[in-house]
Structure 1
Amino acid sequence: MSGSLLAFGAGLIVGALLLSNPVGWVILGAAVVVAGAVMTIKAITHKCTDPLNCGQWFLAHNSVKINGASAITRSSILKCGNSGVLTPFLMKLLQMLQSQFHCQQKSMGIRN
């Protein structure tokens, strides 16, 4: 017990010495960058990455095409290889902008 307390105290002293000068700041910055890179790679290469790239959407809006692909809606589902499903979510701001766009089209006499 006293050995681990001594090691903890030594770690605190070394950490304080490192963070009190520019060399420690560089070391801390490098550690943050490495941790960020690891977390980014981990987030990008999760088990659902493959379906996102080439999966098939269910309940897509097949009568509306965007760049040749069926439009997805809030009720659309993408099956994940990890026995789950992915569903899109639309932000309120996006919905508001879309609503304003349609109102402007109607006021200008443009029909979809």
Structure 2
Amino acid sequence: MSQNLHRWIPSQLGHGEAMCARCHITNREAAVLGRLNACSQAANDLTSHEHLVLRALSGEFEVALAAWVTAAFEHLAAVGMCTNEPPYIITDAGREALAAAKASGRVVLDA
């Protein structure tokens, strides 16, 4: 059985050193619950920040470089939704994911 791994980022919750960008569990909570290697979110689910960066890559607006933007670029590149190096360019897979998210009415952060 394959498991979805957490995507750890610095915690913004006020506790724990890291939190999962997908399910928002902290590293300490996951350790206590025995879920360090099992995220409850599907591996291909994009975070709202990743949707925002895809929108920026598609030319809707610009985003200032910040840690969360870099993390989003890195994940999007890893799953083939943008190129691997700056300047990041959206790929066909990224355009398809963005169109699917918009068509489904999925909440995407505003710029």
TM-score, structure 1 normalization: 0.26
Larger RCO, structure (CA 8 Å, separation 6 or more): 2
Structure with more of its chain in helix, by fraction: 1
TM-score, structure 2 normalization: 0.26
Structure with more of its chain in strand, by fraction: 1
